Amino acid sequence: MLGKPFDVLLVEDDPGDADLTREALKEAKMMVNLTIVEDGEAAINYLHKAEPYTDAVRPDLILLDLHLPRKDGREVLRVLKNDPVLRTIPVVILTTSQANADILDIYGLGGNCYVTKPVGFEEFSKVVRSIEDFWFTVVKLPSE
């Protein structure tokens, strides 16, 4: 993947959190193409290249909120991990929930990582940069 920008799909219904993520990724060292969808149904349509996402690019990483309209993060994760083509895309849950039941659910459904969103831009930015650094420099990701 060297030399090519990384494609990240952010599934986030809160415009403020989407903006924070966008700004944090802009500050980072790596080139990232960020696509944002606002609910779980749009995420599934994007990943299946359904209208209006017929030109969608397969993401290298998905940042997924748990609490989403139309289909929540658990439903999106269930669809992803049951799809033989999509299941290898790493999914980082980025959510406000600190509930142990949510954490257990996510790992049980095949989530790759669970991160609680910190409050404040500085802390949020650090978390996003550490996610980016880990997934794009330390981990070997599968190619399509």
Q: Give the CATH number, domain containing residue 23.
A: 3.40.50.2300
Residues of the domain holding 97: 6-136
Contacts of 84 (CB under 8 A, 6+ apart): none
pLDDT tens string 109-128: 999 999 999 888 888 888 88
Say how far apart CA 80 and CA 85 lie, in whole Å: 9
- % of the chain at pLDDT higher than 70: 97
- 131, part of any domain: yes
Average pLDDT over residues 122-139: 87
> Using CA atoms, how far apart are residues 58 and 39, in angstroms rounded to an integer?
17
